[in-house]
Amino acid sequence: YLTDVGSNRCGIQRNQVLFDSVAAWKDDDGDWYETGLHIFCEFHDFLRLTFHDFPDVLPAPLNGMHLNNEMLTWPEKIRFVIGLLPAMVGGQAYVEAQDGFTVKEWMRKQGVPDRVTDEVFIAMTKALNFRNPDELSMQCILIALNRFLQEKHGSKMAFLDGNPPERLCKPVVDHIESLGGELKVKRVMLTNGEAIEGDAYVMATPVDILKLLLPEDWKEVGYFKRLDKLVGVPVINVHIWFDRKLKNTYDHLLFSRSVTNFRNYCYRMQLRDFANAISIFLYPCIIFS
């Protein structure tokens, strides 16, 4: 965005890999390991769309309601839609007013069956914020849902047709550099004496890392003091590789109570011909930290 509007920008990356929150590493066998499960809603041509089961003749959310009859029953769908009506017509003001309710509290307040929360929103809250429905603010969910509901193809999901460093990170960097921008890696501390000055600074890091990087005298400033209430969730991404192709398998995100990605066709540019893989994220992973 800053590049496109013509500002003079410089990005400093703390690791040797680009955009480490979506980074991947290749091992000696040529397999890619990602830091997390990364899916994208339909947008660019370098993404491989893997789910084509939503009928295009219907707008969202009717397309998903019409086709998917295995996760929720029709009575559950109807009660869920009725519960969502205030959010759909109330706009941003309504969404912001729900910040005091957890997902589970809001669903019960709106008369949505608990089974909807269990079958749909346990996975959704984990995917959005690594938390359970009784821990996450409903405002977070409504912001995401409103986006999906307003776009006909908003519920279509896609995977990169290759590894993230080459198919996502490098095109972004190439675009920035083509317009005069600059990106430096492994430069969290400029130990060579170089000083970088700017009119504004944006730090995009997990909150726990940001707390470590803040100068001591900043930590008592009211603006930064609010960070004390923010606590990160330790998460790890587990890759399970199979030494042969599994029969009768499909590309899928398993989005019922857990978030798992079975990688077959959708990751075919990252997998060797004989391999299948499952990616699973685990949280909280305190025992592994």
Express each pLDDT in 115-139 by its tens digit: 999 888 888 888 788 888 999 999 9
pLDDT for 269:
42
Does residue 91 have a pLDDT over 50?
yes
First to last CA, the chain: 35
Tell the burial category of 270 from Cβ atoms under 10 Å away from its Cβ (0-12, 13-18, 19+): buried
pLDDT tens for 33-58 read 777 777 776 555 555 555 545 556 66
Q: Read off the pLDDT of each residue in 153-163 and give the average, rounded to a whole number.
A: 69
Examine the pLDDT at 239 and tell me if it is beyond 90.
Answer: no
Check residue 169 and give its pLDDT. 80
For residue 8, what pLDDT is reported?
Answer: 66
Say how far apart CA 93 and CA 95 lie, in whole Å: 5
pLDDT band at 264 (very low <50, low <70, confident <90, very high): very low
pLDDT at 288 (0 to 100): 46
Torsion, Cα of 126, 21, 36, 137 (10° steps): 0
Outline where DSSP puts E strands in 5-82: 10-12, 24-26, 32-34, 40-41, 47-49
On whether the pTM is more than 0.75, the answer is no
The answer, yes or no, to whether the previous bond of 215 is cis (omega within 30 of 0) is no
Lowest average pLDDT, out of 29-33, 35-39, 196-200, 285-289, goes to 285-289
What is the full DSSP assignment across 104-138?
Answer: HHHHHHTT--HHHIIIIIHHHHHHHHS--TTTSBH
Taking residues 74-86, report their average pLDDT.
90
Question: What distance in Å separates the CA atoms of residue 169 and residue 15, rounded to the nearest whole number?
Answer: 14
Mean pLDDT, all residues of the chain: 74
User: Quick one: tokens of 20?
Assistant: 């480490």
The whole-angstrom separation of Cα 175 and Cα 54 is 33
- Least confident residue range of 54-68, 164-178, 222-236, 254-268: 254-268
